[in-house]
């Protein structure tokens, strides 16, 4: 087979065969196909699309490029949650412990923050000692012992996706439904799950801006899940404004711990309960949302979900004392208060711009190899719909470099005001059927 001929087939809108996709991916991995050939292929896929069969084969070849995990004892109860990335999204930190305590096995392989979105690994690494790069053997052991663990992508799992993802990032080929589908589904399927709950975020703070685009991605992921015989529920959730009251790393860990202590911000509660309930339903633990909600309330109230988090931190070599003593987490040197520049109701808090402003104080990263200041971040004193008087404090910025003034100014402009009262409708925009 000839790489250019296969690129030309896709360029000319023909379907690729399983053999061609297998050859292209395996030759890329072993270096026979060059980056410049892969990037031309990626652009052709982005612009010309792929059939369900092609996406299935692509996902298959991504998975087969590395090792896969298995939890044969799960009996259908191994369910993960995947979020497509947002601002202030600390959901994994709560969902893992809660679902685990309800009897679900949750083997989460997570990512780092990039651009305006945060990453679960960066948040966890705020905890002194916490290890996100542990062996897959140890990872499986922790999942078996505590029902949940959260680690970073390992070099030997789905290497094709990792290599192709970094190429997509610099060649304008990220926003392709077939490529996003194969990337997400391959990693989740390789981690040994029986089923998957997707939190598909939509809005300016998400990678997917419109419901139309979100529905196409959902349809594609749903088909591929079925092709691999995996159960799936896909939720569309609103990511125009940041989730919760804190954005950053250490501050989001605190917010997650508080959540498990029962101090829940309404939007966080709404999304967390829905996603965990879907996991319980897929696992066969609950029959419906009402049953799941009762279970979740219970494991929060009796402190068992909180205990799971403590144990999880301990098992991954973090200092479990942080969950009682937040002063053990990285502390910011400076705090800058941000005030409302007019009176009115908060119409929106532009989460994409907040994400980018926080990169300036190193709460996030522009390039994959940038370092993070785990103490940097933002606390919101108001949310969408909130009434604000000019001069009132709307947020507090935590930072430790010389970009505080610039970031604070940018964040001030992220608040959109309205003269009229704003009615909020919640974060849940529906599920994919």
Enzyme catalytic residues: 82, 161, 168, 183, 187
Q: Which two tokens stand for residue 24?
A: 């292209």
**How far is CA 200 from each of CA 28, 329, 366, 384, rounded to the nearest angstrom?**
30, 30, 23, 20
Cβ 51 to its own copies shortest distance, Å: 18
* Residues 6 or more apart in contact with residue 189 via CB below 8 angstroms: 59, 63, 68, 228, 230
Residue 431 near residue 236 (C-beta atoms within 8 A)? yes
Three-state SS string over 295-361 comes to HHHHHHHCCHHHHHHHHHHHHCCCCHHHHCCHHHCCCCCEEEEEECCCCEEEEEECHHHHHHHHHHC
Quick one: which of 17, 26, 27, 35 contacts its own copies (CB under 8 A)? Answer: 35
Find the part of the chain contacting its own copies (CB under 8 A) among 33-41, 207-215, 218-226, 245-253: 33-41
> Please, what is the minimum distance in Å from the beta carbon of residue 163 to its own copies?
12
Q: Under the criterion CB under 8 A, does residue 44 sit at the interface with its own copies?
A: yes
Which position among 16, 21, 40, 224 is part of the footprint of its own copies (CB under 8 A)?
40
Residue 175 tokens, joined: 């926003």
Q: How far is the CB of 1 from its own copies (least distance, A)?
A: 13
How far CA 209 is from CA of 47, 86, 204, 274, 345, in Å, comes to: 18, 11, 6, 22, 24
Per CB under 8 A, contacts with its own copies among 156-215 are 167, 169-173
- Judged by CB under 8 A, the residue of 27, 39, 68, 131 near its own copies is 39
Positions in 55-74 near its own copies (CB under 8 A): none
Given the complex with its own copies, which of 166 and 405 has the nearer CB atom? 166
Place of tokens 């679960």: 120
| Angle separating helix axes 136-146 and 304-315, nearest 10 degrees | 160
Total residues binding its own copies (CB under 8 A) = 25
> What is the per-residue burial (b if ≥16 Cβ within 10 Å, else e) of 93-120?
bbbbbbbbbbebbbbbbbbbbbbbbbbb
Query: Is 172 or 430 the residue whose CB approaches its own copies more closely?
Result: 172
Q: How far is the CB of 9 from its own copies (least distance, A)?
A: 8
**The one among 1, 4, 67, 389 contacting its own copies by CB under 8 A:** 4
Task: Rank residues 44 and 279 by Cβ distance to its own copies and give the closer one.
Answer: 44
46 is an interface residue for its own copies by CB under 8 A: yes
The one segment of 5-13, 100-108, 306-314, 357-365 that binds its own copies by CB under 8 A: 5-13
Q: Which tokens belong to 263?
A: 């101090």
User: 1 or 36, CB closer to its own copies?
Assistant: 36
Which residues here bind its own copies, judged by CB under 8 A? 3-5, 7-8, 11, 34-40, 42-44, 46-48, 167, 169-173
């Amino acid at each position: 087979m000839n790489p250019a001929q296969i690129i030309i087939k896709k360029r000319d809108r023909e379907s690729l065969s399983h053999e061609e996709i297998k050859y292209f991916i395996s030759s890329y991995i072993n270096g026979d196909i060059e980056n410049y050939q892969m990037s031309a292929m990626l652009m052709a896929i982005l612009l010309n699309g792929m059939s369900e069969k092609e996406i299935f084969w692509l996902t298959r070849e991504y998975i087969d490029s590395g090792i896969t995990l298995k939890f044969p004892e799960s009996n259908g109860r191994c369910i993960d949650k995947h979020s497509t990335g947002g601002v202030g999204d600390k959901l994994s930190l709560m969902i893992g412990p809660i679902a685990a305590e309800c009897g679900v096995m949750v083997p989460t392989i997570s990512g780092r923050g990039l651009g305006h979105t945060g990453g679960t690994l960066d948040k966890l690494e705020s905890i002194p000692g916490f290890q996100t790069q542990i062996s897959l053997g140890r990872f499986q052991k922790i999942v078996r012992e505590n029902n949940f663990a959260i680690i970073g992508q390992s070099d030997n799992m789905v290497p094709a996706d990792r290599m192709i993802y970094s190429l997509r990032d610099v060649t304008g080929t990220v926003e392709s439904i077939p490529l996003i589908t194969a990337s997400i589904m391959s990693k989740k399927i390789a981690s040994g799950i029986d089923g998957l709950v997707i939190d598909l975020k939509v809005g300016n703070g998400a990678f997917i801006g419109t419901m139309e685009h979100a529905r196409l991605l959902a349809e594609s992921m749903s088909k591929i899940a079925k092709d691999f015989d995996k159960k799936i529920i896909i939720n569309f959730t609103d990511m125009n404004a940041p989730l919760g009251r804190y954005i950053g790393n250490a501050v989001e860990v605190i917010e997650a711990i508080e959540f498990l202590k029962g101090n829940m911000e309404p939007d966080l509660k709404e999304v967390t309960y829905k996603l965990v309930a879907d996991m319980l339903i897929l696992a066969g633990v609950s029959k419906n949302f009402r049953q799941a909600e009762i279970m979740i309330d219970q494991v929060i109230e009796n402190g068992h979900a909180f205990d799971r988090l403590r144990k999880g931190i301990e098992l991954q070599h973090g200092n479990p004392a942080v969950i009682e003593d937040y002063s053990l987490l990285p502390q910011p040197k400076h705090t800058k208060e941000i005030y409302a520049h007019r009176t009115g109701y908060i119409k929106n808090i532009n989460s994409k711009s907040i994400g980018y402003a926080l990169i300036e104080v190193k709460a996030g990263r522009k390039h994959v190899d940038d370092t993070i200041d785990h103490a940097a971040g933002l606390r919101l004193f108001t949310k969408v719909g909130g009434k604000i008087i000019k001069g009132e404090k709307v947020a507090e910025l935590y930072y430790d470099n010389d970009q505080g003034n610039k970031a604070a100014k940018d964040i001030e402009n992220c608040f959109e005001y309205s003269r009229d009262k704003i009615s909020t409708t919640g974060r849940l925009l529906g599920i994919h059927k």
